[in-house]
Chains A and B, each alone.
Chain A
Amino acid sequence: MPATAQSGRSAAGTGLFLLTLVSAVASGQTAQTPADGIKLFEENVRPVLEKNCYMCHSDPERAENGFLLTTRAGLLRGGERGPAISTSEPALSLLLHAVGYDDEQLQMPPSGRLAEADLEVIRQWVLLGAPFGGDEDELTEVAPAEDAFEITDADRAWWSVRPLGRPDVPAVADPDWPLNPIDNFLLARIEAAGLEPPPTADRRTLIRRASYDLTGLPPTLEEVEAFEQDRRPDAWERLIDRLLASPHYGERWGRHWLDLVRYAETDGYERDRKKPSAWRYRDWVIGALNADMPYDEFLTHQLAGDELDNPTAASVIATGYLRLGIWDDEPTDTELAQYDDLDSVLDTTSRVMLGMSIGCARCHNHRGDPIPQTDYYRMLSFFRGIAPYKVGGGNEPTPENYTDWIPADLGTADAGGPPEEGPPANLIEVLRVKELGPEAPPTHVLIRGNPHAPAERVEPGFPLILGNADTGLESPGPDSPTTGRRLALARWIAGDGNLRTSRVMANRLWQYHFGRGLSPTPNDLGRFGQEATHPELLDWLATEFTARDWSLKSMHRLLMTSRAYRMSSRPPENALQVDPGNDLFSRFNMRRLAAEEIRDSVLAATGTLNLEIGGPSVYPPMPAEVLATASQPDKAWGEATPDEAARRSIYIHVKRSLLHPLLESLDLADTDSTCPVRFTTTQPTQALMMLNGDFMSEQARALTARIDGPDGTVEDRVTEALEAVLARRADPVEVARGVGLIEELQREEGFEADAAFASYSLLLLNLNEFVYLD
């Protein structure tokens, strides 16, 4: 902040108004009396203020920045930058600085610099002590307006902040219904509403529900029938264990996590450059989930995998989390862009891991939750050590700040010492976080979030409302590559004492299994979010989660072996009237498959799905119309072999400015900010792509070829296709309808047999039954 503004801020009332006038006179101004000052104000100054300033700075309720230009007290109090006039050194008043247009960051009025004559009038008036006439003219000092902050009892009693107790499992009228305590919590409320829970869904519904839920893939007809015929009492538990052991579990649940952390493989903006080796982070997520890495460790590695005592290649790759955001490689204001990047990291971290909208306190105290602006900057300072993408000017980022070559076996038992000679052969390129050294630059509260208007300095600290525990931070040694701050943050977020973290994740687990969170706003459990419908159940699950050592797979098993998870989606009697929004979970929520599930299911049904796991992303063919939207259509996308094009959707390259059109139309997660709940839209453009797109035509032909038997009748082939797509036995009416269409197309439209069958295959892939789960 420029010196003039500083002095304006620090001006202490040291004199009386009259003294001010005397000093103005003594400094060579035309000798004037207070009456002259008031006259000047009335005749010359007020009209200028009215015309140029009062639109924003006259209404006490709505004054911009809290700054009122209608009274002398308003000038003395000033706005967020402090007093607008200095009684000790009027010439250095902030007001003159602002209207003088000396500072790019503070130019008033914003519509344009005042005329010279108007500026001179204001200057004279300020030098005379800015009299308005009246009692206030005697004032020399006014207490600054405090953006009052206080944590109240009501704040502490908020449902998501209350201490996490272990709620009693409620009693129910029908003790035979519950299979585990989850059922007691739900049934008690269902009974209280005078409803009966629905029956258990049939086995085909259940295996479809569980398969998609845990792997994002459909069961085959054989799997469905084997499960239907499995009469062992633990058939359901066996099914869940089999699915949890599948390597495709990590792909499905990894995608949930990638939605949350706004995963993409490019920076966005003009060049939308590729983030080198971002896919290793994606593979790390999938692998960690498959290995059932405890959730506390999962978070710690992403926040500070490089700061662990013994970092491994995997834990360093996990810190790619901190490099996933958008980045403009030619920012207009580099410092602002660096803060925007840190803001994105803090906002994502606090919403995803803590269910808190700390980001709202960047410019001012949070308007709904007890989060002062200082909390934002104290939390931000945990990330302040991070080396920015680019320091200083120029158009190219500095790759050494965010990529690295590390030994693939770093930190493992196999890792040898440094090679005798020559570079190690097993280096891999990783996207990772790096810091500037053991010392982070100082963090200041920024007025209105403006990096060019720093105020008080803050040190790392946790949100006051969450207890403000000691950070345990110590100075790292002078050779330390990092500050250790992120590890301190991770130890708190993922610590056993942090009830918030387990509550937030328990709610997400419920959401992904049951179709809606117990709190429907999983990224914000504060006052701008929605309260949990079953807060006791959520607390019970949260305590269970930590008691189970943060094991996600154990939680899946717990949730899925409840009777609630096995309920039919058909509403029982009166349920629609009594519980129209299904807030009681009085039946299971139907859902449309997610974008990736639809594309993967199409590939699975036609027998073309390539189930290879991991590796660099692939580039399935992009329609020419879509390439034409890129600024350089011929360089915008890569190529794929047919095998690569048939990979699961999670492996398709995520380019921020050029998303896969079919997936995008089916409500892919936004890539630029954390996506806690996907939209489910229904639009004609989806139907166009599902009916007419090249991908669907190819898949219909593939299904036709798969079914192609030289001896089969049309009935047989229709039956086989129906069963392949729907994983159930076909009934004769359905078969007859298919045969009817095929014959009609041949007879009336002159289709060849294969083309007619391909049309029918296309129809099957468009069925509601195919894309909706009961």
Chain B
Amino acid sequence: MTYDPERPRNTFCGRTRREFLWEAGGAFTSVALAGMLSTDDFLGAQTVAADGVTAWKNPLAAKPPHFDGPAKAVIFLFMYGGPSQVDTFDYKPDLYPLDGKTIEINTKGRGGTRNQGRVVGPKWRFKQYGECGKWVSDLFPHLGGCVDDIAFIHSMTADAPLHGSAMLQMNSGRILSGSPALGSWVNYGLGTENENLPGFVVMLDPTGGPISGAKNWSSGYMPASYQGTVIRSSGTPILSLDPPPGMSRQAQRRLLDRLREYNEEHAQPRSENSELAARIASYELAYRMQQHAPEAVELSGESEETRRLYGLDQDRTKEFGRRCLLARRLVERGVRFIQVYSGGNHNDHNWDAHGDLVKNHEYHAGGTDRPIAGLLRDLKQRGLLDSTLVIWGGEFGRQPTAEYAEGTGRDHNAYGFTMWMAGGGIKGGASVGETDELGNRAEVDRFHVKNLHATVLQQLGLDPNALSYFHAGLDQKLVGVEGAEPIHQIVA
């Protein structure tokens, strides 16, 4: 007997699929079916909710934006731990000669509040790049070549100079745990364009997740449909994606066909309950995910040139490069929001350079510079950069002064730091905001994490001050009840 494992047998208790749906009283709904059968106009017209009246919507079905936004997808390159702005993109020539000198300066970080400190001069030279003449440190020779596509925000501020709360704020807008992540909001607002893959994907560092783990991609008070799914860049990409040992795809198809027979028989006298049909469909979707997800993370079809572009040919960059390349592949396949972590675990496994700044930043910048530049170039050459918003930054920055009596380590700094964005309708070659002459505090055009989030939503065509979710008696918003303006100066 020949058996096509990709083709579910349309038994439907001996009826055609259409008859089955019709008998289901037009009350046939599902998370999956809307997408699975979306070419079927008949179904489109018949899809109603459990009450038999209300038009039913898949929570993750693609939704129209509030207005036309240039961006369709987001890649958030999260530099966990907090990169130092004065050593990367915020050029402060006056700081070099102060190296080693103790000065009056107000700082607040892990080590508490201080009013003086020993300056650690920037440890790298800066060079000008591109037509915009942007000063970039020697940590990023490859990214330097991309500055004309990048808008730098040098005056970022956040509410907390400590990882736990700052991570939550950068990811969810609030320092208190329990709110949905940025990626959840985006999927809530726009849905996903490919129901065979999760709409909100997170890729972690091999050393581990960031602190607070899954809280950083939690859907908080929203349903679990909007939470981030961790995709691994090697091995099985999604938890429980692989059938158990010994279960071939074809064998699983057989199992699923029988399961469906039982379930359809069970559903038949309960046709008003659309959840039953939804659950039947979710197994088909899972089955298709098993096929599509490995394909999405399979890099063998990528050319040598592409692999080199992302640094897959070098030990130092291949790990992060792989995740960047995957991010591009996921964008191509309609995934809405992708977060890629540089750094994991604690201390020097990420950008948290409390001890040896040079060693720490050489390591992390060295592992990411070429892959990120490769990602920007690749997106551009494929015509994807215009519709893909790329964000770079950590949960905060670092102080211009030393944390300890000895050494070059810098403490956290939430009162002034740099992030950048590229693509997705962002003005290339722009720089907005300024910190003081020491790079310590944002002084000119200060922006808050909320403004960054508002910009992301706006570029996706969502009004940050209108996108709301009713919870606990309030129309909750990512940018908080008081709202926030996008950073207009960096929008093309």
Spell out A's residues near B (CB within 8 Å): 55, 64, 110-113, 268-272, 326, 328, 330-332, 340, 347, 351, 357, 359-360, 368, 393, 523-524, 526, 528-529, 569-571, 576-577, 580-582, 590, 592, 623, 625-626, 628-633, 636, 656-659, 661, 664-665, 667, 670, 672-673, 679-689, 691-694, 697, 734, 737-738, 740-741, 744-745, 748-749, 751, 755, 759, 762-763, 766-769, 771-772, 774
Contact = CB atoms under 8 A, between A and B. Distances in A.
A631 B473 contact: no
B178 A326 contact: yes
Contacts of A748: 1, 3, 250, 254
B444 A670 contact: no
Interface stretch (B218-226, B322-330, B378-386): B218-226
B9 to A, nearest CB: 12
A665 B214 CA distance: 13
B246 A630 contact: no
6 contacts: A270-B211, A351-B472, A631-B212, A633-B208, A687-B285, A769-B262
B261 interface: yes
Contact of A657 (B213, B250, B252): B213
A528 B473 contact: yes
Given A631-B344, A631-B345, A687-B283, A657 B214 contact: yes
Interface of B: 1, 3, 25, 30-32, 51-54, 59, 108, 110, 112, 155, 159-165, 168, 175-178, 198, 204, 208-215, 220-221, 223-225, 229-230, 232, 236, 238-244, 246-248, 250-252, 254-255, 258-259, 261-263, 266-267, 269-270, 272-273, 275-276, 278-280, 282-283, 285-286, 289-290, 344-346, 414, 442-448, 472-474, 482, 485
A665 B224 contact: yes
B286 A688 contact: yes
Contacts of B240: 623, 685, 688-689, 691-693
| Nearest 4 A/B pairs, CB to CB | A672-B178, A270-B164, A580-B51, A269-B164
Contact of B223 (A357, A628, A679): A679
Contacts of B414: 332
A681 B213 contact: no
B95 to A, nearest CB: 20
A582 to B, nearest CB: 8
Given A112-B442, A629-B204, A737-B262, 18 more contacts: A55-B485, A111-B447, A112-B446, A113-B443, A269-B177, A269-B211, A331-B165, A359-B473, A576-B25, A623-B239, A632-B345, A692-B241, A693-B240, A745-B254, A748-B254, A759-B251, A763-B258, A772-B275
Max chain B C-beta neighbours (<10 A), residue from A55, A393, A571, A768 = A768
A748 B250 CA distance: 10
B251 A692 contact: no
Given A684-B32, A693-B240, A670 B221 contact: yes
A61 B313 CA distance: 60
Contact of A687 (B273, B286, B482): B286
A625 B236 contact: yes
A759 B158 CA distance: 52
Contacts of B285: 684, 687
Contacts of B176: 326, 340, 672
A326 B172 CA distance: 16
Contacts of B270: 569-570, 590, 774
A571 B266 contact: no
A35 B345 CA distance: 65
A681 B211 contact: no
Contacts of B447: 111
Nearest to A769: B266
Nearest to B244: A697
A688 B241 contact: yes
A659 B254 CA distance: 32
B452 to A, nearest CB: 14
Given A359-B472, A692-B240, A580 B252 contact: no
Contact of A268 (B162, B215, B239, B255): B215
Contacts of B223: 667, 679, 681
A558 B396 CA distance: 57
Contact of A357 (B30, B280, B472): B472
A374 to B, nearest CB: 18
Contacts of A393: 112
B272 A768 contact: no
A717 B208 CA distance: 45
Contacts of A357: 472-473
B467 to A, nearest CB: 18
B51 A581 contact: yes
B213 A658 contact: yes
A745 B257 CA distance: 12
Contacts of B225: 681, 683
Given A590-B270, A625-B236, A691-B252, A332 B165 contact: yes
Given A268-B215, A679-B223, A681-B223, A629 B443 contact: no
A691 B258 CA distance: 13
A767 B266 contact: yes
A421 B31 CA distance: 68
Contacts of A658: 213-214
B81 to A, nearest CB: 11
A364 to B, nearest CB: 10
A748 B210 CA distance: 46
Given A111-B447, A670-B220, A682-B282, A751 B177 contact: no
A636 B162 CA distance: 21
Nearest to B259: A763
A768 B275 CA distance: 10
A767 B259 contact: yes
A630 B208 contact: yes
B161 A332 contact: yes
Given A625-B239, A631-B344, A744 B254 contact: yes
A737 B242 CA distance: 25
Contacts of A691: 240, 243, 252, 283, 286
A487 B232 CA distance: 52
A444 to B, nearest CB: 22
Nearest to B264: A768
A755 B446 contact: no
Given A692-B244, A767-B263, A772-B276, A631 B238 contact: no
B243 to A, nearest CB: 5
A368 B470 CA distance: 14
Contacts of B54: 580
Contacts of A768: 262-263, 266-267, 276, 279-280
B251 A749 contact: yes
A269 B220 contact: no
Contacts of B254: 741, 744-745, 748-749
A98 to B, nearest CB: 15
Given A670-B220, A688-B240, A749-B250, A657 B282 contact: no
B294 to A, nearest CB: 13
Nearest to A580: B51
Nearest to A752: B246
Contacts of B25: 576
Nearest to A667: B224
Contacts of B282: 682-684, 686-687
A755 B52 CA distance: 42
Nearest to B226: A681
A39 B224 CA distance: 60
Max chain A C-beta neighbours (<10 A), residue from B198, B255, B482 = B255
A679 B159 CA distance: 32
A685 B229 contact: yes
Contacts of B446: 110-112
Contacts of A680: 275
Contact of B444 (A112, A330, A684, A697): A112
A174 to B, nearest CB: 24
Contact of A741 (B52, B177, B258): B258
Contact of A360 (B161, B266, B473): B473
Given A112-B443, A672-B220, A630 B242 contact: no
